[in-house]
Amino acid sequence: MNSADDGGRRRKHVRKDFYGQIEGIVRGSTFYGTIQNLSLGGMCFEVDYLFRAGVDLCLMFKVFDTEQKPIEVKAEVVWVQPLHMLFNRVGVRFKELAPKAKRIIKAYISGLKIESEAGVSGPSKYPLLFSAFKLSNVTLKNRLTMAPMFWGYANKDGSVSQMLIDSYREIALGGVGMIVVANAVIDRSGIMASRCLRIDQDRFIPGLAKLAEAIKSSGAVACLQINHAGRWAKVDKLLAPSAATMGVSTKLGVLGGIREEVTGRYQIRLVNKFLLMLMNCRQGMTLEQIQFVKESYGQAALRAQKAGFDMVELHGATAYLLAQFLSPRSNKRSDGYGGSLENRMRFPLETLQTVKEFVGNDFPVGYRFLADEWLPGGFDIKEAKIFAQNLERLGVAYVSVTAGTYESFFLPEIMNRLRKEGYAAHLAGQITEVVSTTPVVAAGRIVRPALAEKILRNNEADLIGLARGLFADPLWPNKVFERKESKIVFCTCCNTCLVCVIKGEPVICGRWDKFKKMNLDIQLKEKRKKWEKILIAMDDSEDSLEAVEYAGHMIGNDQKITLFNVLTSEREIEIAKKKMEALLAQAKGHLQGTGINENDIEIKVAIKKKGVSHDILEEVKKGEYGSIILGKGSASRTHQLLFGSISNYIVQHAKDCGVWVID
């Protein structure tokens, strides 16, 4: 291979991985897109905006990390391709290119990196980003924090999974200063999704302790976000400030946004969730329930402290319970917890006070802060400034600024706004101006280190919150620090993670390689350990007894085993059942002879309903078995079905269960 070909391959790889974003204007409205491909003739980009072919655009284009001003380019939409369910891919043809625009585009498509040419990167280029920071009584090694991001990696019962530990450990080893573990639920009434972390009982403390230790031993400060979902909880009886009384026009606006932005069955799922919330949220919380939830927050924080976390964060954003009390849209109470801003602030402020009473003043308590609902008549930045000052008076450790709620996220103009890099930085800046001593965290699509440094340099925030950026590349901080900025796998706002949340699936990143995705799939599949709970399906033959004895030597001790038979006789069922139970008792003796405890062996005889194979599979599902053991010869000889032998059929149709056939 000659050097020219090799150089071309390198440039192609750089273009593929280089992060680029454009800003454009169509019909007087601003949109933001992520560049997918670019040439001097035109480009294609992904965007959360509705386009049609033939529309003229004005694009503002620049190479990031340079001081050059954006160059205006005229273009025309040639084609539009809907992607997934949240965005479109758009192809445009350039109508005119000024010489300066041609130079910039040539620089981009050749893979030029201005920072590499200058030979400056790492701490010398980003001195604020890599300076230590004192947060209450905890010192962060740099200004980078992992902002809370829900992944759905917990075990089904809400306990800490190994996958969760491994994922947060990987991010901590990547060099971030602090990690905020997302969304630990303080009470069953506040669970917002499946596989959500729980901290409402002491039994969760040991798992959380392992998680905290994994983060801290890997070099990061460990913070746990605690939350109650309120009217967005996945429960029958919702706890909320007041009944849902949104105006009809607003409801239709939100549903219209969902319909435009989300397709197929996922659109129906979101609409149903929204309508179900409106229907189920028919009454406000009583004073007793308010007191109960405040104490639940306090107890949860105390458990986090016992588990070894350095601090906790109260989730006061994304339209969850604390934010619901703040919002004049969702809080229609007429008592001391509703009406004026002073009253609407009372519940979140009292919750902060309660938490501090449980954990003491030396344990830092941060706040995930909603700066603006982005909805007409909703909580806005003007009220947010007053609320931030009240949090400061109570000694909050920091405020982590975000914006938008479940009711605004799917409005087309908000979907478009969320694609803009650093979309909430200006809100963080406004909060920074009104608090004197409380550190402010800026978050919201901060993709590039240059932007993160700029936010700190402009005093818009004290700390930077990265979520999807670290999810895409956990080594982001170390790569910047070690002058390997060009190696970062940037988040391209492909929304793969959001699609997973809507589907109710564990979250993956579209930038991951197939092996990482496969590893996640293997670890989180709801399969039990192959010998955790075992069903041995027997017939009435001597061969089946031999198979059981052989299986006993394979299984070993400390497993739960059920010896199972499906009676196929149509006459004298009771006699056949007694005869089969005697054979199963004999098989039990064989298992005991291999060293298996008698108390771990159960005998079960069922009468055929749908057919032997179907009945075995039904028992496996009902009993949640991890493995089935079959004696191939006897089962195959005794019952032949349409799809072949019983053993073959079960091998084909057993889901999330290991099948072991003994010949």
Residues designated as active site: 320
Phi-psi region of 407 (alpha: psi -120 to 50; beta: other; left: phi over 0): alpha
Q: For residue 485, give the DSSP letter.
A: G
CA distance 582 to 527: 32
CB 300 within 8 A of CB 199: yes
CA distance 507 to 494: 13
Output b/e per residue, 10-23; b: 16+ Cβ within 10 A: eeeebbeebbbbbb
CB 194 within 8 A of CB 161: no
Q: For residue 141, give the DSSP letter.
A: S
H or E segment at 471? helix 468-472
Helix axes 449-457, 425-434, angle to 10 degrees: 20
Q: Where does residue 353 rank: exposed (0-12), middle (13-18), buried (19+ CB within 10 A)?
A: middle
The residues facing 465 across adjacent strands are: 145
C-alpha 302, offset from chain centre: 25
Residue ranges of E strands in 248-324: 311-316
CA distance 390 to 342: 10
Q: Which two three-digit tokens encode residue 381? A: 């930045």
CA distance 635 to 633: 6
CA distance 80 to 59: 17
Pick the closest to residue 153 from 133, 170, 175, 135 (CA basis): 170
Q: Which two three-digit tokens encode residue 460? A: 């818009």
Residue bearing tokens 């970062």: 488
CA distance 42 to 451: 27
The residues facing 33 across adjacent strands are: 22, 47
Q: Which two three-digit tokens encode residue 582? A: 């005697």
Residues recorded for the chain: 663
- What backbone torsions phi and psi does residue 179 show, to the nearest 5 degrees? -120, 130
3-class secondary structure, 83:
strand
- What backbone torsions phi and psi does residue 539 show, to the nearest 5 degrees? -110, -160
Type of residue at 646:
I
Beta-carbon-side half-sphere exposure of residue 616 (alpha carbons within 13 Å): 31
The residues facing 399 across adjacent strands are: 367, 440
Beta-carbon-side half-sphere exposure of residue 467 (alpha carbons within 13 Å): 22
3-class secondary structure, 409:
coil
CB 162 within 8 A of CB 205: no
Q: Which two three-digit tokens encode residue 179? A: 């990690």
- For the chain, the first-to-last Cα distance in angstroms comes to 55
Q: Where does residue 5 rank: exposed (0-12), middle (13-18), buried (19+ CB within 10 A)?
A: exposed
Pick the closest to residue 551 from 603, 606, 588 (CA basis): 588
3-class secondary structure, 568:
coil
